[in-house]
Structure 1
């Protein structure tokens, strides 16, 4: 059973939710405070007014005049009856069936209590209207603040997304990609930092490319001299070993020069060629021993507009890598603009396959125990990038490694 996770919220959504939650909390807190303050003030005012009426009624009772107060009312609340025994005036808010009732009572003799009551409905209705007003105002303010937070979050999210996409382009090799910072906030600082990183990375790669190219150029002359000197050696096992080592050294120097040329983003000359013809020429360029163990199978041929020399170099490197680190026979299948190179070896090591799928081949790194420089796949990937093609690496379920080259087709 798959573990389904909800999609992650963007920065804009998080900012909008945070602002909305803050606005809701502030509006709710203010509403509660206003409600409580108003309720306390209303009750204090009502109690003071009813107490003044009770005092006037007590004077009228003493003078024998009629008033709204009653003597010993039968519905007098128990808390009021107990409180007036202490010879104090009492105001008390009683919960009624529909609305509360406010009482005021005092003792007018040793055994008699004078009390007055009135409905608290007007205050309750006023408080309800205030609550509705606070609720509507709070909701409107929350919506407006949330919209402002959403706009702010969307702006921040767009800037962060632009910086992230630019960083991804830089990671993919586009060192000319830059972010346009806006403002002086943290997002703008992040954008400026990405641009600074790209400048520093480009300068470092350019310096490394120049050093690599200079070293390779300096090595070409002594290697050429060694190749000439090998031809003057007498035949024998020793001369064969020296000749093989010189050939490997010359191939390594040529690979280093090729990598340096790829880093300089050279121009690409395109022409229309059949994919099968380029594949056969790439196989024919291998040595005699390797040609016999590389099989070319054409499922569907296609004509593509590309640089045939670079395509042949890619296919030759893929086939040579499969022969060096895999096991023969190596199969090269052409299916339209797609070429698949398979071997029958143990496949890519898991750690190397993870690197190939994420950041691509790394120079002078190989997952094979037989050694190698790792430049073959690096050159193939660089050539494919120049051609606008795509290289993918995988292990087949039945065993063996498979590399797929997908050429751009019209």
Structure 2
């Protein structure tokens, strides 16, 4: 239940409570005033009838009426002058007093007119209360929907920012808390964008500066005499060179300067080329199709996924080419699955919400997280998407969803 619905229900509940309380107070006050007036009038008439009875004149009062309520008769015989409302389908108001030791003088009249007026007042109060409640509830619903839309728009924009769209902004309206929240989200996005841009610029500059000395180191290792020490140095230099190239690739993707060179290509052919030279990898073709895409970037994605599976999972690694179906997703898919322990829960939560993050790997010290970051960046450039999950029977699975042809 969103904030708009909650606000509308709260306003409606408050309106019902206020209308009910006012209606009950008006009913009780009117009924009390009505009964007091009727009792006072009938009591005056009874006093006048007592004087007439004492003077021997006839009056509207009756002597010992047989229909006198028992409670009134008992009270009168104790010497109390009584007015009493006898409720029922036809309410009757009584006034009685004792005029001798054994004689009771009583007056009665119908209370139906007053009861009808009170019932009419109750109907008017209910109608007015319902109309007021509906009107206030509609106003509360309109206000709640407006606030709900504004809060939803702010939440969606914050989600877009969290997923990497740092150009998303909220248009603040008014001077209330939601407007302050919108301004705060915009300020947060500006600050986050500035920090990320500074980070990207520094990373790219460092990588560019390292490229030349790393190239010189590669050349120098080729001049060293063969031996274990040379092999160790050469291996370290190769890893450093690969890291520098990965950082530069991430910088190019972040700067949106990469270009696509698309052509039709069999998905199975790209999968086979991506795993060339890698041991412990099996390619399975379930369904093959042509894809209009940039084959070099698709192969880079698959190579990074397979390399990540070999490094952090367990062999064999299965690359499965298939065609998705249903729910608007009918393009080719390539699944890369290993048979290791799967993604750690905290890493899987990050991958499924905000995507791969640079320098965050599967929790060991053998990776930098750049492989998945580059794969995700290449996928966005191609209009494709990457999804990650753990198989129920063990192993991590990454799936590349390519756009449908045409």
What is the CA–CA distance in structure 1 between the aligned matches of 2:360 and 2:382, rounded to whole Å?
24
Identify the range of structure 1 (239-248 vs 194-203) with the bigger mean alpha-carbon deviation.
Answer: 194-203
> Measured at CA, do residues 82 and 397 of structure 1 come closer, stay the same or move farther in structure 2, by a change above 3 Å?
closer
> Measured at CA, do residues 400 and 107 of structure 1 come closer, stay the same or move farther in structure 2, by a change above 3 Å?
closer
Question: Number of residues paired by the alignment?
Answer: 396
The SS at the match of 1:300 is coil
1:3 corresponds to which residue?
A: none
What is the CA–CA distance in structure 1 between the aligned matches of 2:112 and 2:97, rounded to whole Å?
23
What is the CA–CA distance in structure 1 between the aligned matches of 2:70 and 2:340, rounded to whole Å?
97
Deviation per CA, 1:263-318, whole angstroms, max 9, x where unpaired?
Answer: 2233432412312333333233xxx4x2x433333333322232333222111111
Note if 1:392 corresponds to 2:370.
no
Alpha-carbon deviation of 1:111?
4.2
Q: TM-score, normalised by structure 1?
A: 0.90
**Partner residue of 1:207 out of 193, 198, 211:** 198
1:348 corresponds to which residue?
A: 343
What is the CA–CA distance in structure 2 between the aligned matches of 1:134 and 1:269, rounded to whole Å?
73
2:45 corresponds to which residue?
A: 53
Deviation per CA, 1:192-239, whole angstroms, max 9, x where unpaired?
Answer: 222122111111111111121122222222212222221221111101
Q: TM-score, normalised by structure 2?
A: 0.91
2:97 corresponds to which residue?
A: 106
Deviation per CA, 1:362-396, whole angstroms, max 9, x where unpaired?
Answer: 22222254621111111111211222211112233
**Partner residue of 2:176 out of 180, 185, 198:** 185
Identify the range of structure 1 (393-402 vs 190-199) with the bigger mean alpha-carbon deviation.
Answer: 393-402
Alpha-carbon deviation of 1:46?
0.3
1:124 corresponds to which residue?
A: 115
Alpha-carbon deviation of 1:73?
2.6
Alpha-carbon deviation of 1:45?
0.7
1:264 corresponds to which residue?
A: 255
**Partner residue of 1:80 out of 72, 87, 103:** 72
Is the Cα–Cα contact under 8 Å of residues 217 and 237 in structure 2 kept in the other structure?
yes
What value does the CA root-mean-square deviation take over the aligned residues?
2.0
Is the Cα–Cα contact under 8 Å of residues 252 and 258 in structure 2 kept in the other structure?
no
Is the Cα–Cα contact under 8 Å of residues 272 and 303 in structure 1 kept in the other structure?
no
Deviation per CA, 1:315-351, whole angstroms, max 9, x where unpaired?
Answer: 1111111121223333322224211122233332333
Identify the range of structure 1 (167-176 vs 79-88) with the bigger mean alpha-carbon deviation.
Answer: 79-88
Question: Which sections of structure 1, spanning at least 5 residues, go unmatched?
Answer: 1-8
**Partner residue of 1:146 out of 121, 137, 142:** 137
> Measured at CA, do residues 81 and 299 of structure 1 come closer, stay the same or move farther in structure 2, by a change above 3 Å?
closer
**Partner residue of 1:63 out of 50, 55, 71:** 55
2:87 corresponds to which residue?
A: 95
The SS at the match of 2:286 is strand
The SS at the match of 2:399 is strand
2:29 corresponds to which residue?
A: 37
Deviation per CA, 1:26-83, whole angstroms, max 9, x where unpaired?
Answer: 1111111111011001000100110111122122223322111112333333433343
1:363 corresponds to which residue?
A: 358
Question: Which sections of structure 2, spanning at least 5 residues, go unmatched?
Answer: 324-331
Deviation per CA, 1:90-139, whole angstroms, max 9, x where unpaired?
Answer: 2121234x222211123334543322111111111111111111111111
